[in-house]
Structure 1
Amino acid sequence: MHPLVVMGVSGSGKSTVGAAIAQRLRVPFEDADDLHPPENIAKMSAGHALDDSDRYPWLEAVGQWLADHPDGGVMGCSALKRKYRDQLRSHVPGLQFLMLEGSREVIERRQASRAGHFMPASLLTSQFATLEPLEPDEHGVVLSVDQGVDQIVQGYVDVMSRDAES
């Protein structure tokens, strides 16, 4: 199994779904939020979106973690732009992605119910503006967040099983 990045905007369920997939596949899980340098956390906590220069060293740390788990590991990481995903793929060719997709209304409700996260809901607009969906040449799956975690995990496993048989 190649490493997997569970991606999407803040509040889409990357950490919850990623941890559940990792448990199901019996591989390590890491939340990319835990790899942010203190400066990034301070900037986002103050309500300011990160720019590409802020993200570069963070994505390098994420890519290194993925490279350190060549036999499988799951990372919850926004990976909003194609170039960010390309940066991660430079560490792990064949990297897989699971994009969690949901409407702004659904994501806002999820964010409102979550406590103690440094990413304020006010930055959701910039996240949706930045988001570039997976392109056909990217190895990945897009699943809706309008279902339970168990259904998302099973949907991912089903698609990967079909791909392995092909």
Structure 2
Amino acid sequence: MALSVENHPGERPPVIVVMGVSGVGKTTVARLLAERLGLPYAEADDFHPAANIAKMSAGTPLDDHDREPWLRALGDWLGGRSRLGEGGVVTCSALKRRYRDTLRAACPDAFFLHLSGGQDLVHDRLAHRVGHFMPTSLLDSQFAALEPLGTDERGIVLDVGPGPETLVEKAAALFGHVNGDLA
């Protein structure tokens, strides 16, 4: 059973962006974390306009112009969750600082959970993924674009090596949820 943060008065539910390059496990970790914390979950891919999906499916990386409406829509979702005091977990590559700045402009209390892994490991995972529009040919461009979290950004980097369940335990502990209870 998921622990619902709304059952604990005085605790403001977190608004979390699970970020990283394609193939690090953002969707798996974000879904498990949202369930664990009793928060709504949203998949960033669902916010892409059809033109973006077609472009990526064709093996063409998105440019900043393509990403702008997508990031604004994600920011609106995050900001709405925060204003309602309901919290939420969303996936988003959030590769560049300016992308995270766009999200923070709409939701200043966003917390970034950066899932990180070596390029060989991530490439292997991406190569074995079925039913996703992101081709492995675009992975190099994502690693090239990645700007790690700055020391002034609310967030943490977690290595994806230990697996999703361990990552969720570590993340839940950050928000005071250990073994299903508040710490």
Which residue in the other structure is 1:148 paired with?
Answer: 163
Q: Which runs of 5+ in 1 are unaligned?
A: none
Which residue in the other structure is 1:113 paired with?
Answer: 128
Structure 2: how far apart are the matches of 1:150 and 1:115?
Answer: 21
With the length of structure 1 as denominator, give the TM-score of the two structures.
Answer: 0.95
| Aligned equivalent of 1:86, options 82, 87, 101 | 101
Equivalent positions of 1:34-49 (< 5 A) are: 34-49=46-61
State the AA in 1 paired with 2:106.
H
| Aligned equivalent of 1:65, options 62, 65, 77 | 77
Is the helix fraction higher in 1 or 2?
1
* CA deviation after TM superposition for structure 1 residue 161, in Å: 2.8
* CA deviation after TM superposition for structure 1 residue 105, in Å: 0.7
- SS of residue in 2 equivalent to 1:68: helix
Deviations 1:85-132 (A, max 9, x none): 000000101210000000001101111121010110100000000000
With the length of structure 2 as denominator, give the TM-score of the two structures.
Answer: 0.86
CA RMSD, 1 decimal = 1.3
Deviations 1:60-105 (A, max 9, x none): 0111111121121000100000000000000101210000000001
State the AA in 1 paired with 2:113.
L
Which residue in the other structure is 2:173 paired with?
Answer: 158
Structure 2: how far apart are the matches of 1:137 and 1:102?
Answer: 22
Structure 2: how far apart are the matches of 1:27 and 1:148?
Answer: 21
- SS of residue in 2 equivalent to 1:132: coil
Larger radius of gyration: 2
